[in-house]
Structure formats: structure tokens, C-alpha cells
Chains A and B, each alone.
Chain A
Amino acid sequence: MTSSADSSSWPLWEVFIRSSRGLSHVHAGSLHAPDATMAIRNARDLYTRRNEGTSVWVVPAEAIMASDPDSKGAYFESAQGKSYRHATYYTQSEGVKHL
């Protein structure tokens, strides 16, 4: 409660909502809040007004290390042309039914 007293605006939080049991939490958006407890309240007000969720997570935005959007190619396209990564060339041994 005292940590952000001298900053001019509240820190940013990322909101994740699980829509039903068995599914994973999905990013819903972001919001500002003075602390984690209030971030959960604000998330409820901003993102769960229409029965969206069964569970809400909030994460300080600064705690998330994200990949660089400009390096998309280097990160995600390098697998192209490397079909040996997909186990489609192997012949299935006889008698193995449930591979």
C-alpha cells in the first residue's frame, strides 16, 4: 500500500481469465491498480461483467518478459523446412497399433 505512493499513476497488470473448469487461463486484457488485491477487484469489474469466468489471475505487467515482435521470423519461422522435426518420415513398425 505504500510502495506506489509517490508514483503518479498505478502500475499496469495483465489479466487472465479461465472461462470454465478444465480450460487454461487466457489473456483478457490489462488494467491499472495500486496493488494485487485491487487489481483482482478491477479485473472483476472490467472483464467479468457477463459471466465470463470461473477464475481470474492478475500478473504485474513488468513481470512478463515477452519475445521481441520484430524478431518474429527468427523465433517462429526457423522450424520451416525442417520437416525432420515432424515424425512423419518414420515407417510404423508392424504390430504397433496405437502410435
Chain B
Amino acid sequence: MSFASHDSATRQSQGEAITAEEIAESGAKADDATARYALLLGDDSLILAQRLSAWISRAPELEEDVALANISLDLLGHARFLLTYAGTAWGKSEDDLAYFRGEEEFRSCRLVEQENGDFGKTIARQLIFSFYQHELYSRLVHSTDATLAAIAEKALKEVDYHQDHAAQWILRLGLGTEESARRVQAGLDSVWSYVEELFTDVEPMTSLGEIAVLPSTLREPTLTRLHQVIEQAGLSIPDMSGAHGADRSGRHSEQRGFILAEMQVLARQHPGATW
């Protein structure tokens, strides 16, 4: 199919969805630095997908169960593309990378690792992450790496909905009752120190040129939009500096081990199992 050709991957018609299998079969092979970049992006999506899936059957209403599950599945799809592509550099499958890497080898940011907390905290985290991801993917569609550009194009339409969902909820919780405003503000306060990490330039982004998006270029547009919607919701921007070591260089929060244990236990106890 057209995806195998490097110069046409970004010009697929809308609605012709790519799949992880097509990436694996396309013959596109990432070099080491590009693969490490894809892995970092994929880890963010994978961990957040896992976190959100815990809301299924726990959300305030059935309708919200479905909404969060849909977002979780979208993110899982993005993680599958990115991990599959990363694996082409090292002869590994998406499952090798998701289930058989240790805690220290993941490159997810600490924001997505944070525990769900209540609905207000989950929505605060969704707001920040989906706004960041929207800025990121709307630039990554111009990547000179055709596979990354195609993945970003597919993901962007979905993230567009994720940020709308989060923004709608921030407004309703912020302008709802005293209790809902208090709780969503507490949620913002508890995750805000992990925002800075999203915008820190580190290897491999710094050496990839036009293939990657430099995180520091996303800081201003993302924060401007976040400030707008947070103020519109009658909430305040937390006044705090970034958490210590907020640099994506491999440092992680203590929650990562727990969520990986839960995610990886089945695959490790029954290697090669399918379900």
C-alpha cells in the first residue's frame, strides 16, 4: 500500500487509517535516535492509556466511562504505532518494548505517571497533557520522517477531541459547584509541578533536527491556551516551579513501577500468550 513509500505517507486521504501492522510491514526502518524519540512519545501515550483504563466502570456516569475508555484506546493506538516504529531500529516488537522493558528504561514523563486521584485530578491531567500533545502533533505532521508525520496526522484528529473533552469538563467543574471547583483546583495544584518537564529539550530531540519537535518551542503556545481555559473556568494557575529533576532524562516518579507491574504482569507470567 501507499504507506510503504516514504514520499506519500503524509498524503494519504483522510480516513484511510494506518495500523501498527502496516508500520511493521512497511519496511520503514528508524535509526537509533529517531527510534528513541518515537519510544519517548509512545511511552507517554502507553502509560496514560493504562491510567485512564482504570476509570472504566468507575467514572461518574456510564457515558463518561465510555468517553474515557475511548480516549484511552486512542492513546493505546498511538502508543502501538510509535513503539512498533521504534522497534524497527532494534528488531523488537511493540510487545517486547511494552512488556519486557524495566522501569528504568521507560522514558514517559512524570505527568502521565501520576495516580488518577478523583475525577477532578484526572481531568486536570487530561487538560494539560492533551493541550501539550495537540501542539506537539500539529507540528510533528511536518516531520521530515514520513512515518512520524503519518502517525502525527492520524493522532492529531483524535487528540483534537481529547482536548475538547478535557476543556468542556474543566469549565463544568470550575463553574459548577463549590465542591467541584475546589476538587479540580486541587487536581491542577497536584500535577502542575510536572508541566515543566514536557517542555525541556533533551537528547534525542536536540540532535534530530527537522525529524523531531523541540519541546521548548511548545511551552509558550501550550501555556497560553492552558491559561485561557483555566481562567475561563474561574480557576487559578498554580504558582509553583517544576519538580526537581524535571528533565525527561530517565528520572521517573515512584508511581511508574506500580503501573508497569500491573500492565506487565500477565505478559511476563505467560510469555507469548495471546488473548
Contact = CB atoms under 8 A, between A and B. Distances in A.
A45 B88 CA distance: 34
Interface string A15-33: 0000000000000000111
B53 to A, nearest CB: 15
B70 interface: yes
Interface stretch (A35-43, A78-86, A89-97): A35-43
A29 to B, nearest CB: 11
Contacts of A42: 63-64, 66-67
A71 to B, nearest CB: 32
A: interface residue count bin: 10 to 19
Contact of A1 (B62, B66, B161, B175): B175
Nearest to B73: A49
Contacts of B238: none
Contact of A33 (B63, B164, B165, B171): B63
Contact of B171 (A1, A9, A44, A46): A1
Contacts of B241: none
A41 B164 contact: yes
B12 interface: no
A32 B176 contact: no
B168 A1 contact: no
Nearest to A35: B172
Contacts of B62: 32
Nearest to B61: A32
Contacts of A41: 67, 164-165, 168
Given A5-B176, A33-B63, A45 B70 contact: yes
Interface in B145-176: 161, 164-165, 168, 171-172, 175-176
B164 A46 contact: no
B67 A1 contact: no
A38 B168 contact: yes
Contact of A32 (B63, B70, B172): B63
B70 A1 contact: no
Interface of A: 1-2, 5, 9-10, 31-35, 37-38, 41-42, 44-46, 49
The 5 closest A-B pairs by CB, nearest first: A42-B63, A45-B67, A45-B66, A45-B70, A1-B175
15 contacts: A1-B171, A5-B176, A10-B61, A32-B61, A32-B62, A34-B172, A38-B172, A41-B67, A41-B168, A42-B63, A42-B64, A42-B67, A45-B66, A46-B63, A46-B66
